[in-house]
Amino acid sequence: MRAFIFDLDGTLLDTLLDIGHACNAMLAAHGYPVHQPEAYRRMVGNGFGKLVRRALPADALERLRAQEPDERAVEALVDETRTVYAAHLNDATRPYEGMPEALRELAGRGMALAVFSNKPDEYTRILIEAHFPGVFSVVRGARPDTPLKPDPAGAFAVAADLGTAPAQCFYVGDSDVDMLTARHAGMAGVGVAWGFRGLEEVRAAGAARLVRHPSELPSLLAN
């Protein structure tokens, strides 16, 4: 193996509180019930559009869909949530314990390191620069010209930018979306225990490897 490609939210960084704050701020502003932060563990992973649709009450979502064609009313709330998040995306966000050390060891062993996330590209780059400056040679978030994960197009683009065949890449993530992305791209999916979803989800989604702490990541090179 020549490269490790990482998901961002729930894998490299614990972003749940800041994501939940942004969604709850939008919901409260429109009189909708808010959610406990833990509830957002099941809502994230497929981009802001699906996040907001999952956070909205089902009846409110149906009313909004009927209000304007092409879901413009819903998309306005998605944009509003993005705006709140952009102003607070690094308030409570932190790297997972042991992750900086694990990344240093992987780099020291000659591994190419990259990030591929469904978070908007701009926010992905801001957070990586804030928490892991100079660590990753390729950073790619969601872009308008590329389908979201689990479509493999973005993963293929990252591997190409690394100059590495997909089969020579580990893809590390915390959700079924990540494991499906790895499978579709022909990469080795590594499911993590510390993220938003837990080992049972990534195991059921076909993770090739399972790790319980970032310190275990370098040991994958021995297998």
Contacts of 23 (CB under 8 A, 6+ apart): 34, 35, 40, 43, 51, 52, 55, 81
pLDDT tens digit sequence for 91-108: 999 999 999 999 999 999
Q: Which of 186, 165, 47, 178 is nearest to 115 (CA)?
A: 178
* pLDDT higher than 90, residue 206: yes
* pLDDT higher than 80, residue 12: yes
44 contacts 201 by C-beta, under 8 angstroms: no
pLDDT tens digit sequence for 145-200: 999 999 999 999 999 999 999 999 999 999 999 999 999 999 999 999 999 999 99
CATH architecture of 3-14+94-222: 3-Layer(aba) Sandwich (3.40)
Active site residues: 7
Reply yes or no on domain 16-88 having CATH 1.10.3210.
no
Q: How far apart are CA 210 and CA 193, in angstroms?
A: 8
Q: Are strands 188-192 and 13-14 parallel, antiparallel or unpaired?
A: unpaired
Spans of all domains in the chain: 3-14+94-222, 16-88
pLDDT of residue 47: 87
